[in-house]
Amino acid sequence: MRFLLSRIAWPVPRMPPCPTRHRSTLSLGQPRELCLVIAAVAICAGSSASAATRAASQGRTQPVTIVLTEFAFTPQTLRLHHGQAYQLRLVNKGSGDHNLSAPEFFRTAQISSGDASFVSGGKVEVSKGQTRTVRLVPATGQYGMMCTHLLHASFGMTGRIDVD
């Protein structure tokens, strides 16, 4: 952040000292430093979390359907984009219960407060014939996913989530 702000070049006029008797204990030295601090706060305030909230509230949520069957995820590899709001729709078309377990993916994603209760221990449980929807904004990275039900992963119910 310091490197980025040091590259910004704009004229900052010299300001006279504050006429009050009581001075703040915060000493930033020059008005230019104060402007840099204000700029840094403004940049942080406009983080991806607020951008993600705006994207979701403006209807730019992209739906993604993942079908869970014996013993596979379809698609097996998800390709998502950082900062994009998604609606993950998990559809269990199998003859038994399944889940999508991706602890790091769910830990780093910004999950909609209304859907956070569906994610427990880094996984989403989906009963036979059920559909579960989770709205989120993913973080950049590569994440493994699997079904943690007995022997499901060993039978091939695994996959990957790539977020660029």
Domain residue ranges of the chain, discontinuous segments joined by +? 18-57, 62-163
Tokens matching residue 142:
């590569």
Q: Which has more pLDDT, 15 or 120? A: 120
CA pair distance 119, 145, nearest whole angstrom:
14
Report CA-CA distances (Å) from 111 to 43, 48, 49, 76, 115. Answer: 22, 13, 10, 22, 7
Summarised one tens digit per residue, pLDDT across range 68-114 is 999 999 999 999 999 999 999 999 999 999 999 999 999 999 999 99
Label residue 11 by pLDDT band (50, 70, 90).
Answer: low
Contact 104, 135 (CB under 8 A): no
pTM of the entire predicted model:
0.66
89 φ/ψ sector (left φ>0, alpha ψ -120 to 50, else beta): beta
- Using CA atoms, how far apart are residues 20 and 140, in angstroms rounded to an integer? 49
State whether CATH 3.40.50.300 applies to domain 62-163. Answer: no
User: What whole-number distance in Å separates Cα of residue 127 and Cα of residue 119?
Assistant: 14
Residue 109, judged by CB atoms within 10 A of its CB (0-12, 13-18, 19+), counts as: buried
pLDDT of res. 53: 52
pLDDT band at 50 (very low <50, low <70, confident <90, very high): very low
Is 163 exposed, middle or buried, given 0-12, 13-18 or 19+ CB atoms closer than 10 A? buried
Look at residue 15 and tell me whether its pLDDT is greater than 70: no
Of the ranges 4-13, 20-29, 60-69, which is most confident? 60-69
| Sequential DSSP letters for 132-147 | EEEEEEPPSEEEEEE-
More confident call, 29 vs 109: 109
Backbone angles phi, psi at 142, to 5 degrees: -115, 130
pLDDT score for 60: 87
pLDDT in tens, 132-161: 999 999 999 999 999 999 999 999 999 999
